[in-house]
Amino acid sequence: MVPRVPEVPGVLGCAIVKLLVLGGTGGTGRHIVTQALEKGHEVTILARDRGKAGLTHERLRIADGDVRHSAQVSEAMRGQDAVLSAIGRGMSFKSENLIAQSVPGIIEAMRGTGVKRLVFTSALGVGDTYRISPLLPKIFFSTLLRGIYADKLIGDQMIRNSGLDWTIVQPAVLTDGPLTTNYRVGEHLSLSGMNKVSRADTAHFIVDRINDRTTFGKTLILAN
């Protein structure tokens, strides 16, 4: 049986926001979808395989499409207030240029539909945060994850130059741990060892800060 998210009223004092979630069938994306619905938002998932959504809800719509196809992204984006992206290659070490091929179409679709707000999930160690990462993670970033991170860097740079109201979220190593809401966030964090953060906590930050203008134009690190 497909699980059903419990009905929860909209956030007190906040208008219900219509959200397009990209990567909504993946590990972090599912948490984003679930938590957004719990907060009263209306959610659309763009999915190649709607069966992977894993839940049903009266405020959840699934649009068939591929994030690499700008026309399909644009169609799913019509009428939305914000875009939350958790697209990625999961456990794969091969980028297949997913981000580099997807981000231009996402930006084009947002400009074409007038949607300004974008929260984009990247990763700790991409770009400038490589320098502040501890030695052990750096080894993984520059070897096994080299291709994945090069692809993510291309996407991050395009988003920064997009003119959108963007926030790039760079979580530490993602785990399947529980939602704790006990995590650190900032443009600069003190890091040591192999820093981690749960997918649930990452989703919590993303959904919680949709309307937070203090995060616009910032790249923020998340870690426990």
**Residue 129 CA: distances (Å) to CA of 78, 169, 224:** 34, 11, 16
Report the C-alpha gap between 73 and 70 in whole angstroms.
5
DSSP one-letter code for 169: E
Handedness of CA 25, 28, 30, 32 (dihedral sign): negative
Residue 15: the pLDDT is 64
DSSP one-letter code for 138: H
Do the bridges between strand 42-47 and strand 117-121 make them parallel or antiparallel, or are there none, so unpaired?
Answer: unpaired
Report the C-alpha gap between 81 and 106 in whole angstroms.
14
In a domain, 67, yes or no: yes
Q: How many domains does the chain have?
A: 1
Residue 53: the pLDDT is 83
Residue 204: the pLDDT is 98
For residue 104, give its domain range. Answer: 18-223
In a domain, 99, yes or no: yes
In CATH, what number is assigned to the domain containing residue 144?
Answer: 3.40.50.720
Q: What is the DSSP string of 17-85?
A: PEEEEETTTSHHHHHHHHHHHHTT-EEEEEES-GGGG--B-TTEEEEE--TT-HHHHHHHHTT-SEEEE
In a domain, 142, yes or no: yes
Residue 26: the pLDDT is 94
Within 10 Å of residue 176's Cβ, how many Cβ atoms?
9
In a domain, 69, yes or no: yes
In a domain, 176, yes or no: yes
Q: Return the amino acid letter for 24.
A: G
In a domain, 200, yes or no: yes
DSSP one-letter code for 214: G
Q: Return the amino acid letter for 192.
A: S
**Residue 26 CA: distances (Å) to CA of 47, 146, 205:** 10, 21, 17
In a domain, 11, yes or no: no
In a domain, 219, yes or no: yes
Print pLDDT tens along the chain (224 aa).
334 344 333 333 356 699 999 999 999 999 999 999 999 999 999 998 888 888 889 999 999 999 999 999 999 999 999 999 999 988 777 889 999 999 999 999 999 999 999 999 999 999 999 888 888 888 888 898 899 999 999 999 999 999 999 999 999 999 999 999 999 999 999 888 889 999 999 999 999 999 999 999 999 999 99
